Amino acid sequence: NVCRLGMIGVGLFLLVALLTAADPRPEPDDEAVARGRFLYRVYCMNCHGEEGHGNGVSAPLLKIEPTDLTRLARKNDGAFPAERVYGIIDGREEVRGHGSRRMPIWGFSFQELNSDVNQEEQVRQKILHVIDYLESIQGQARR
């Protein structure tokens, strides 16, 4: 009985760990979304547009039309694809319209130059802020 209870306890612990690992990001607050919006405007707006609809000032010059970033959840059965977006921004996931995996050198662009300090956590936070912002604009109609 003690062994059985111990196994049930371990099973419940693993289940809770799996459920919380599915989306380890905390619920974004207004400040995180605002930071993400700022970064979006600096790095993404030229192609994806001020409101994320893929109609930025550079869009007509591109061979491949930029994605409407307000429809990511809709294209993913209603669930915002945060992990995929993270991979695209940091360059791990290739996107044809971005060129080689070096496109979103955003992972590199988010680093401070001339710093020999490991900036991985700061870059990660910046990417997560952009994701928080993109998640906040899902389903917004064009004006």
Res. 19 pLDDT band, cuts 50 70 90? very low
Query: What pTM does this model have?
Result: 0.71
> Tens digit of pLDDT for each residue in 78-114?
999 999 999 888 877 666 555 554 444 455 556 566 6
> Tens digit of pLDDT for each residue in 20-47?
444 556 688 899 999 999 999 998 999 9
Give CA–CA dist 110/90, Å, rounded.
10
Please answer whether residues 80 and 97 qualify as being in contact, where contact means their C-beta atoms are separated by less than 8 angstroms. no
Tokens of residue 73, six digits:
């959840």
pLDDT at 126 over 80: yes
> Tens digit of pLDDT for each residue in 44-68?
999 999 999 999 999 999 888 999 9
pLDDT of residue 41: 95
- C-alpha distances out from residue 102 to 16, 37, 42, 118, Å: 37, 22, 18, 20
Distance of CA 19 to the CA centre of its chain: 20
Give CA–CA dist 48/41, Å, rounded.
9
Q: What are phi and psi of 59, to 5 degrees?
A: -55, -45
pLDDT at 135 over 60: yes
Q: Which residues contact 132 (CB under 8 A, 6 or more apart)?
A: 25, 28, 32, 33, 35, 36
pLDDT of residue 133: 97
Res. 17 pLDDT band, cuts 50 70 90? very low
pLDDT of residue 90: 80
pLDDT of residue 99: 54
Degrees to nearest 5, angle at CA 104 with 98 and 106: 155
Res. 70 pLDDT band, cuts 50 70 90? very high
